[in-house]
Every structure is written in structure tokens, then in C-alpha cells.
Amino acid sequence: MHQPQEIAIYIHWPFCKSKCPYCDFYKKIDCNINQDIIITEYIDALRRYRQILPERIVKSVFFGGGTPSLIKPNNIAIVIDEIVRLWPITENIEISLEANPNTHYQTMFQDLKNAGINRLSLGVQALNEADLHFLGRTHSLATARLCLREITSVFDNHSADLIYARPHQITADWKNELEEICTYGLKHISLYQLTIEENTVFARKGVKSLDEEAAVQMYEMTRDFLAANGYYLYEVSNFAQKGYESKHNLTYWQGGDYIGIGPSAHGRICLNGAHYATEYPFIHTQLSPQERAEELLIMGLRLTNGINKADFKKICGLDMHDFVNEQKLNFLKESGLLAETPTHLFATRSGFLLLNQLVLELCS
């Protein structure tokens, strides 16, 4: 069984100033919490993982949330310094943090860079005041624009998140936002279709998603527009300039090992030939080769490059063609939804719009 050397680390900070009405993630409202106690717990968890994974090399660290830009920069530095003390790191390690414009202060981005962050992801979500208000964002458009200018001046690697397919949104208005986001010189853009999840404020209020056909047209326009502006689609929701793909998220999509630290954080590790799903603080559940194979299929087809068949077998121990429903695979290829080369299986442009259905068919 393949034993990976490199590993990624996800640091989950669940606290926010407020909760957005579309959000169904595990979050807590920041009410004067004691950060030092929580950071000490995170350090203890990292040290326990070091005991069972002593030979790994850390390739990326990602501070996600919640709103990790609420963490005091000195506490961020403490976590990064401890990781570097516990494990060797790759020469070009990526250390990312998700920032919310509503936490902005004059020196915030420089403070984050000084703490060790080298990639900044900004949660903008909309570039007009009306939709910022609709989405429950507590920052203004002016603050979002200020933060976009600052992150591109302070950091060499940067990304921004936007949400599209908002109710009643039209393609022309969305294109205006895309035109603006392209003016900032970002290296990476993440674009997420608004979905109304159960147990969210939107669901309780009866907010409806944009018509599916309109959302598809918006997605197709987005893909073409960003390609014409130097951003290529490498994952269903992520666009990057060449060489600026998210190393950390690629670990998830390509089936690499990662540790999850923090409330609701999870991980995947291979240890002594067995695969484990982990939950914070230190809960491990063994996965069968078939369970791991299904995860590799779900995640890998999200990439435009698709699934590397040799890596698939190396990771889970199963030949991809022995795992998938071969009859359904052939039908999906004949239908123009999947394509295959000697080395890869991937969704076509049409198939990219039906990923969930493709996975269900292949695993049936």
C-alpha cells in the first residue's frame, strides 16, 4: 500500500462576527472567546498527530472557518511556528488564510503576512451593495474594494470568493462583477453557486435558488469570460492563473493526506497501509478500500484534469475499472459526458454540469 510522504494541515476557526443566512457550516458567534486557550488546544492536537505521523513533510497549511482573520496574528504565528517545529516543510510551502472584509483594520494584511501567511483568500461574495446586504455580509462594497487592493499589494498569492446564481440575478449584472474582479490582478478566483441548504436562514425564509437553466448559462458564460481573461477552470468552482492553483485544496481533490485541527475539522490519513477518516480532536475511523475509492471518484471528477488512474490505484489499492460500473462508464463516455485517456478519466464540459449524477452512475 502506498504511504504518502507529504501532508496538508487544515486549521479550522469556527468563530464569526455574524452568521450569513446561506451558511450551513459549523460556526459560532465570536463573543469575547479566550483565543489563547483554543490555540493551546490546537497545539496539543498537532503534537499528538506528530507522534503518529513523524515522517511526514508539510506541503500546505490552511486557516479556514468561520472567520480566521479574527485570530490574533501572534496566535497565527504560534501555530505556524509549532508546525514548522514539529515537521519538515516543503521548500515552497503554501500557508493560506481566509479573511473576511468585516474584520479589516489598517495593518491587518501586513500583520498576517508577518505572522507567516503567504496566500490570502478574501471572502468578498458580491460586488454590489444590494446583494451584499441580501447575502447577510456585514462589510460594505467600499471595504471589499479596499481589501482587494490591499491583498494584491501585500501578498504575491491571493484569491477572492464570489457567490453567483443569486435569486433574480441576471447574467449581465454578474458579468459586470466578473469584469471588476478581473481588474485587481488576483491570481485565483473561487466562484460558488448559491444553493439553499436545509437549516439555514434562507431555507427557513423560503428563499428560492435561481432557475437551473439560468444558473447553467451563467456558469458557462463565467467559464468562457474568465478563460479570456487569463483564468482557467481547474476545478468545478475554481479558476486560476497558471501556477497559482490552490495546493492545499488540490490535496483534497487528488486524494492526498491531510490533518484537520479545530471544531468540525476532519482529515484523511494513510497509516501502516490503512486509510482513516479523522475527526477533531483525535477520532479515527478506518475506511475500506472501496470507501476510499468512492471518495477519490467524487473528488477527482471535480478536476478538469480528472482522475489519474495510476494514482487512484496507488492510493486505494483498487484498479479504477474494477471499482466503477463498467457498463455505466461506457454509456457515459458514449453520451459525451465522460472521456478517458490511457492515464486519466475526466468529465467533459457537458459532464461537468452533471457531476453528482455521474458519480451515482459510476458507483451503482
Task: Work out the average pLDDT over 237-246.
Answer: 98
Task: Work out the average pLDDT over 233-248.
Answer: 98
Confidence of residue 209 (pLDDT cuts 50, 70, 90): confident
**307-308 β-sheet, strand order:** 307-308, 344-347, 338-340
Could you tell me the fold of the domain covering 289-364?
Arc Repressor Mutant, subunit A (1.10.10)
From residue 195, alpha-carbon distances to 163, 165, 166, 167, 176 in Å are 10, 8, 9, 10, 21
Q: How far apart are CA 246 and CA 160, in angstroms?
A: 12
Count how many Cα atoms sit within 13 Å of the Cα of residue 150 in the half-sphere of its side chain.
Answer: 22
What pLDDT is stored for residue 1 in this prediction? 53
Q: How far apart are CA 269 and CA 285, in angstroms?
A: 10
Task: Work out the average pLDDT over 98-102.
Answer: 97
Express as a percent the part of the chain with pLDDT over 90.
Answer: 87
C-beta separation of 11 from 280 below 8 A: no
Residue matched to cell numbers 484569491: 159
Task: Work out the average pLDDT over 50-68.
Answer: 96
Neighbours of 273 (CB within 10 A): 9
Confidence of residue 26 (pLDDT cuts 50, 70, 90): low
What pLDDT is stored for residue 30 in this prediction? 64
Is the pLDDT at 312 greater than 90, yes or no?
yes
Q: What is the 3-state secondary structure (H, E, C) of the chain?
A: CCCCCEEEEEEEECEECCCCCCCCCCCEECCCCCHHHHHHHHHHHHHHHHHHCCCCEEEEEEEEECCHHHCCHHHHHHHHHHHHHHCCEEEEEEEEEEECHHHCCCCHHHHHHHHCCCEEEEEEECCCHHHHHHCCCCCCHHHHHHHHHHHHHHCCCEEEEEEECCCCCCHHHHHHHHHHHHHHCCCEEEEEECCCCCCCHHHHHCCCCCCHHHHHHHHHHHHHHHHHCCCEEEECCEEECCCCCCHHHHHHHCCCEEEEECCCCEEEEEECCEEEEEECCCEEEEECHHHHHHHHHHHHCCECCCEEHHHHHHHHCCCHHHHCCHHHHHHHHHCCCEEECCCEEEECCCHHHHHHHHHHHHCC
Is the pLDDT at 27 greater than 60, yes or no?
no
Task: Work out the average pLDDT over 248-267.
Answer: 96
Is the pLDDT at 261 greater than 70, yes or no?
yes
Is the pTM above the cut of 0.85? yes
- What's CA 42's distance to the chain center, in Å? 21
What pLDDT is stored for residue 2 in this prediction? 64
From residue 103, alpha-carbon distances to 62, 67, 174, 180 in Å are 18, 9, 26, 22
Confidence of residue 19 (pLDDT cuts 50, 70, 90): confident
Report domain extents, the chain.
6-249, 289-364
Count how many Cα atoms sit within 13 Å of the Cα of residue 45 in the half-sphere of its side chain.
Answer: 25
Could you tell me the fold of the domain covering 6-249?
TIM Barrel (3.20.20)
**Beta 283-287 vs 238-240: how paired, if at all?**
unpaired
Cell of 252: 483534497
Closest alpha carbon to 120 in 111, 128, 131, 129: 111
Cell of 54: 513523524
* Side chain identity, residue 137: R
Express as a percent the part of the chain with pLDDT over 70.
Answer: 97
